[in-house]
Amino acid sequence: MRKEFRISGFGGQGIVLSGVILGRSAAIYDNKNAVQTQSYGPEARGGASRSEVVISEDIIDFPKVIKPDVLVCMSQPAFDSYGGDIKDQGVVIVDRDLVTVPEGYKEKYNVKVYEIPFTEIAYKEIGLKIVANIVMLGSLTKITNIVSKEAMEKAILDSVPKGTGEKNILAFEKGYNYI
Amino acid sequence: MRKEFRISGFGGQGIVLSGVILGRSAAIYDNKNAVQTQSYGPEARGGASRSEVVISEDIIDFPKVIKPDVLVCMSQPAFDSYGGDIKDQGVVIVDRDLVTVPEGYKEKYNVKVYEIPFTEIAYKEIGLKIVANIVMLGSLTKITNIVSKEAMEKAILDSVPKGTGEKNILAFEKGYNYI
C-alpha cells in the first residue's frame, strides 16, 4: 500500500532531514521501500523548504507525491501553498503556533487536522527550538502508524550529528507521547 | 540544459548529504532548479546508499535520473551496480582507493574517468575520513563546472553541523584544487 507524505516549512527547520529520517526508517529498518525527494524551485530562494516521501511495500514506480495522505506544515506560507492539496480522509499536521488553520478547512477537505505546539515543546522540554522537526516526527509516527517507533528511533540516531542522539530521542518521545 | 548526477557509495559516507548540498547549491545560490532524490530499496539494507540530483535552468518535469551525465562511486559495489549506466561522453568520478575501474571501461562507455583519493585526502589533509564526501564535492565542482564554487561553499555551510564549517570548507578546497 502506497503512502505519500509531504513535509513543508521554511529553511532551517530541518524539513529535509525529517524526510531523510522518515525514508530511512521505512526502508532500512521497517523493510519497506521508500523514495524521498527534495524539489527546489524559485520558492526555495524565498526560504521555503519541502520534502516528500513515498513509502510502499511494493516497488515504487512513480517517485513523486501525487496527492499526499499526510501533509505536515511548519509555517503559514507552507500551509497556504499546500493545504489545499490533500487526499480525502488524509491527515494534516501543523505547528499550532506557526500556522492558523481557517475555520471550515477540515470539513471542506474531509481531513483530520492535528494542531500541535512542536516548536514550543522543543523549546520548553528540550531547550532547543531546532529539534521541533524531531518532535514532529514523534507525533507523526504515533498518528499515522505507518512506520514503527523503533525504526524511527534507529533512523534518527543514524542521521543526527554525533553527541546529539539522546536529546533527539527525547524530543521524539515528547512528540510521540503528546498524542 | 538538464544535467543528471548519481552519487553512490555505502551508508555512513554522507552520500545523502552530498546530494542535498549539490541540490541546494544549484537551486538556492545558483538560481537554477533542482530535484534531489534518495531511493531506498532492498539494497539499502545491505548498506548501499544512493542519491540523485537533477539540475536544470528550466522546470524539471521528470525528477528521476534517466541516464547520468555524472556518476560518482565511493565504493566498489556502487561502481559494480551503476558503472554501466552512464551517458555517452559522461563523467565518472571514483574514490581511487575504494574502487578499481576495469581496463577498457573508459573506451567501452566513451566516458572520462577521474580516480581521486578522496578518503586519503580527507584523512591526511583534514584528519577526518568522514569529510571525504565534501572533498569529492570539491573535485566534482571543478570537473563538471555546472554549479559555481561560491554556491557550493554557501550550501556546505548551510548543511553541515554547527562548528564544523571551517573544516568542511577546507575539505572542499582540497578537493577543488586537486583537479
- For residue A55, the domain's CATH number is 3.40.920.10
Q: Which runs of consecutive H residues, i.e. helices, occur in chain A?
A: 15-24, 76-82, 105-109, 118-121, 132-144, 149-159, 165-178
Q: Which residue of A has its CA nearest to B30?
A: A45
Q: Which residue of A has its CA nearest to B31?
A: A42
Per-residue pLDDT of chain A (179 residues; tens, 9 = 90+): 899 999 999 888 889 999 999 999 999 899 899 999 988 777 777 778 899 999 999 988 888 899 999 999 999 999 999 999 999 999 999 999 999 999 999 999 999 999 999 999 999 999 999 999 999 999 999 999 999 999 999 999 988 888 899 999 999 999 999 99
* pLDDT score, position B47: 79
Q: Which residues of A touch B (CB under 8 A)?
A: 11, 16, 20, 23-24, 26-28, 31, 33-41, 44-45, 59-60, 63-64, 158, 161
How far apart are the CA of A102 and the nearest CA of chain B, in angstroms?
31
> Is there a contact between B38 and A23 if contact means CB atoms under 8 Å apart?
yes
CA nearest B56: which of B34, B24, B38, B29? B34
Do A21 and A165 touch, CB atoms closer than 8 A? no
In this prediction the ipTM stands at: 0.75
- Domains contained in chain A, number: 1
* pLDDT score, position B103: 96
Residue B167 has pLDDT above 80, yes or no: yes
* pLDDT score, position A140: 98
Do A171 and A135 touch, CB atoms closer than 8 A? yes
* pLDDT score, position B178: 97
Cα B85 from Cα B29, distance rounded (Å): 29
- Residue B113 neighbours by CB distance under 10 Å: 16
Q: Which three cell numbers stand for residue B94?
A: 571514483
Residue B38 has pLDDT above 90, yes or no: no
Residue pairs between chains A and B whose CB atoms are closer than 8 Å: 75
Q: Which runs of consecutive H residues, i.e. helices, occur in chain B?
A: 15-24, 76-82, 105-109, 118-121, 132-144, 149-159, 165-178
Upper half-sphere CA count for residue A171 (Cβ side, 13 Å): 29
Query: Is B11 or A8 the better-scoring residue by pLDDT?
Result: A8
Contacts of A16 in chain B (CB under 8 A): 20
Q: Which of B24, B37, B66, B128 to mutate to test the interface with A (most CBs of A within 10 A)?
A: B37
> Is there a contact between B38 and A35 if contact means CB atoms under 8 Å apart?
yes
N-terminal to C-terminal alpha carbon distance within chain B: 24
Query: What's phi and psi for A148, nearest 5 deg?
Result: -80, 155
Upper half-sphere CA count for residue B161 (Cβ side, 13 Å): 10
* pLDDT score, position A63: 82
* pLDDT score, position A59: 87
Torsional sign, CA A10, A12, A18, A19: positive
Cα A149 from Cα A172, distance rounded (Å): 9
Cα B143 from Cα B80, distance rounded (Å): 22
Residue B42 has pLDDT above 80, yes or no: no
* pLDDT score, position A179: 94
| DSSP at B47 | T
Cα A74 from Cα A13, distance rounded (Å): 8
Q: Which residue of B has its CA nearest to A159?
A: B12
> Is there a contact between A27 and B40 if contact means CB atoms under 8 Å apart?
yes
Q: What is the mean pLDDT of chain B?
A: 94
> Is there a contact between A63 and B39 if contact means CB atoms under 8 Å apart?
yes
Q: Which three cell numbers stand for residue B54?
A: 537533477
pLDDT tens per residue, range B89-115: 999 999 999 999 999 999 999 999 999
How far apart are the CA of A112 and the nearest CA of chain B, in angstroms?
29
Do A43 and A174 touch, CB atoms closer than 8 A? no
* pLDDT score, position A48: 84
Structural domain containing residue A139: 3-178
